[in-house]
A and B are shown apart, each in its own frame.
Chain A
Amino acid sequence: MATLSVCQPQLGGFSFENCKRNAVLEAEVTKLGCNIPSARKTGTTICGVVFKDGIVLGADTRATEGMIVADKNCSKIHYISPNIYCCGAGTAADTEMTTQIISSNLELHSLSTSRLPRVATANRMLKQMLFRYQGHIGAALVLGGVDCNGPHLYSIYPHGSTDKLPYVTMGSGSLAAMAVFEDRYKQDMEEEDAKRLVRDAIAAGIFNDLGSGSNIDLCVITKGRVDYLRPHDMANKKGVRLIRPVYAYKQGTTGVLTKSVIKLDLEVVEETVQTMDTS
């Protein structure tokens, strides 16, 4: 029977074929006097909770590079399938690519079985992939969804272990968020109470953990409905500068040494405008 997973060959053993190539690249780059770029971590607060009718997942939106904020509004809740979403903490590229790979494989699997995918399937695929890489893929995930057997919530660690629990937190702000959960979690909460609890847990991570910040994203999954609330709560607005117009430069502030104009014969086919954040 043909293999359903397109990206991973199902061979035995560990595949470290890129390590030799990486070592060669690193040696070349060091000879030139530069460093290879380091992996960007998300330094995050993510959490999930099971309530009466489904799952609420929450995440902050700050991505850090060292102790500098690289992205003030990144999206940490990733799509896996129409009824399953996954929050990711750890190395940003790892969480992004891992969830995309599993989402793709799960769609093929779902088409093959003609059924809505189950959360346990996504969990099994993620843990088997992460274990295969022995923790080198730095992805700590909170996986949640609603399938034919009801709502399910899993936490998945970079080395491949998983826990199936009613409430989980991951990331550098996990302790702050777990403190809120341990105080106020109850079984079979209503949707609004669950959303408020997750919002408060992420807010605790945002304000007390330096690796987390900016806004709170929520994802509410119930049978037949997904509410992807981004942003659910703009807990931190950008500070308003006082001298706003004076920071703009007049034309001619940057000295021009030479100027040459070359006319090109072009016709405009399509024009689109993408605005920059110049606030």
Chain B
Amino acid sequence: MKICLKIVSGHFYGDNGKMKEYHYTGPVEHRFSPYSFNGGTVLAVAGEDFAIVASDTRLSEGYSIHSRDSPKCYKLTNTTVIGCSGFHGDCLTLTKIIDARLKMYKHSNNKSMTSGAIAAMLSTILYGRRFFPYYVYNIIGGLDEEGKGAVYSFDPVGSYQRDTYKAGGSASAMLQPLLDNQIGFKNMEGVQHLPLNQEKAVQLVKDVFISAAERDVYTGDALRICIVTKEGIKEETVPLRKD
């Protein structure tokens, strides 16, 4: 449906500067946007024999809160958890599709998918929608075939790589530099590169989310932490700022 746009007032003149038009009167064409941003932050850390996937539980839209208890970590297999943030509609559909594909694989190959295989599959699923993407920022955390921790981070159209740690979602720009410093020992000299143990990693994740909730309005309410070890998946919930 095309609407004719009419500009009524003229440009103000400008010799060395172009003036912006301040008075636009006339019909404006509004387009329906199929996406909406529901906020949320996800984080994954890989250790020697464990992996942690954490997310806040706030679901928001604009200035309002839809839910204070909507975690963004989804369990895929006994050794893999995925964190999805962005547009909640696409997060739900994508996880349903992944679950279906996992079942199909199990039935045809008689074994569960490994973390690396799930990551490769997710990349093809996302690229299949290259021209109408899933508005989801994914991070997979789990154990690889050798039992070591693995983190795979994605962009909305399927580009992925294996990492040691990654933050995604609305507060990712605040969390990632802190993780680079504390886990990757970046920008520091003369510091011992101690390997990360599970308790320290969990404490670091909690602290990092407490700080993100201070400054990012989309992050808060509660933090859900999923710890993946060869024994299974353990879940922990920690309260965050509610304002």
A196 within 8 A of B: no
Chain A 30-42 near chain B by CB (<8 Å), digits 1 or 0: 0000000000000
User: Could you mark each residue 15-28 of chain A with 1 if its beta carbon is under 8 Å from any beta carbon of chain B, else 0?
Assistant: 00001100111110
Q: Is the CB of A211 within 8 A of B217?
A: yes
Q: Are B188 and A207 in contact (CB under 8 A)?
A: no
Residues of A in contact with B, size category:
35 or more
B61 nearest CB neighbor, chain A only: A210
Is the Cβ of A23 less than 8 Å from the Cβ of B242? no
The answer for the CA separation of A26 and B62 in the assembled complex, in Å, is 29
A172 to B203: give the CA distance in the assembly, Å. 35
Q: Is the CB of B189 within 8 A of A209?
A: no
Contacts of B125 in A (CB 8 A): none
Looking at the complex, which of B17-25, B46-54, B95-103, B112-120 is the stretch in contact with chain A? B17-25
B233 at the interface (CB under 8 A from A): no
> What residue of chain A has the Cβ atom nearest to residue B37's Cβ?
A67
Determine whether the beta carbon of A236 is less than 8 Å from that of B207.
no
Cβ of B62: which chain A residues have Cβ within 8 Å of it?
210
Q: Which residues of A contact B203 (CB under 8 A)?
A: 242-243
Q: Closest CB of chain B to A71's CB: distance in Å?
A: 10
In the bound complex, do residue A67 and residue B218 qualify as a contact, i.e. CB atoms below 8 Å apart? yes
Cβ–Cβ < 8 Å partners of A19 in chain B: 12, 19
Query: Do B210 and A241 touch (CB < 8 A)?
Result: yes
Q: Quick one: which of B207-226 are within 8 Å of A by CB?
A: 207, 210-211, 213-218
**How many angstroms from the CA of A249 to the CA of B189 in the assembled complex?**
10
Evaluate whether A239 and B213 lie within 8 angstroms (CB atoms) in the complex, with A206-B243, A209-B64 already known: yes
CB-contact partner of B63 in A207, A211, A236, A240, under 8 A: A211
Say whether B206 contacts A242, CB under 8 Å. yes
A208 at the interface (CB under 8 A from B): yes
Distance to closest chain B CB from A68 (angstroms): 6
Q: In the complex, which residues of chain A have a beta carbon less than 8 angstroms from the beta carbon of B20?
A: 23
Q: How far, in angstroms, from A68 to B173 measured CA to CA in the complex?
A: 11
> Which positions 223-277 of chain A face chain B at CB distance < 8 Å?
235-236, 238-243, 247, 249-250, 252-255
- Taking a contact as CB atoms under 8 Å apart, the answer to whether A253 and B64 are in contact is no
Query: Is the CB of A160 closer than 8 A to any CB of chain B?
Result: no
Cβ contacts under 8 Å, A210 to chain B: 60, 62-65, 217-218
**Number of contacts between A and B (CB, 8 Å)?**
94
Q: Is A69's CB under 8 angstroms from B215's CB?
A: yes
* Interchain CB contact under 8 A, B64 and A208: yes
Please name all residues of chain B whose beta carbon is closer than 8 Å to the beta carbon of A253 when the two chains form the complex.
Answer: 188-191
Given A20-B17, A253-B188, decide whether A239 and B210 contact each other with a Cβ distance below 8 A: yes
A178-215 interface bits toward B, Cβ cutoff 8 Å, 1 = contact, 0 = none = 00000000000000000000000000001111111110
- For residue B148, give the distance in angstroms from its CB to the closest CB of chain A: 24
Q: Please pick, from A236, A250, A254, the residue contacting B242 in the complex, using a CB distance under 8 A.
A: A236
B residues within 8 A CB of A25? 17
Closest residue on chain B to residue A22 by CB atoms: B17
Q: Is the C-beta of A64 less than 8 angstroms from some C-beta in chain B? A: yes
B240 within 8 A of A: yes
Point out the residue from B19, B189, B214 that lies within 8 Å of A69, measured CB to CB.
B214
- Within 22-73 of A, Cβ neighbours of B (below 8 Å) are at 23-27, 43, 62, 64, 67-69, 72
**How far is A115 from B14 in the complex, measured between Cα atoms in Å?**
49
A201 to chain B, nearest CB (A): 15
What's the least CB distance linking B73 to chain A, in Å?
Answer: 20
CA–CA, A172 to B232, complex, Å? 45
Query: CA–CA, A210 to B214, complex, Å?
Result: 12
Which residues of chain B are within 8 angstroms of A172 by Cβ–Cβ distance?
63
- CB-CB < 8 A to B214: which residues of A? 69, 72, 238-239
B102-129 contacts to A (CB < 8 Å): none
Q: Which 3 A-B pairs have the closest CB atoms?
A: A239-B210, A213-B243, A24-B17
What are 7 of the A-B contact pairs (CB < 8 Å)? A23-B18, A24-B17, A67-B217, A68-B216, A209-B64, A210-B63, A243-B204
> 10 other contacts beyond A24-B17, A243-B204, A254-B188, with CB at 8 A cut-off?
A23-B19, A27-B16, A69-B216, A208-B64, A208-B65, A209-B64, A210-B60, A210-B63, A242-B207, A253-B189
List residues of chain B with CB under 8 Å of any chain A CB.
Answer: 12, 14, 16-20, 60, 62-65, 170, 182, 187-191, 200, 203-204, 206-207, 210-211, 213-218, 240-243
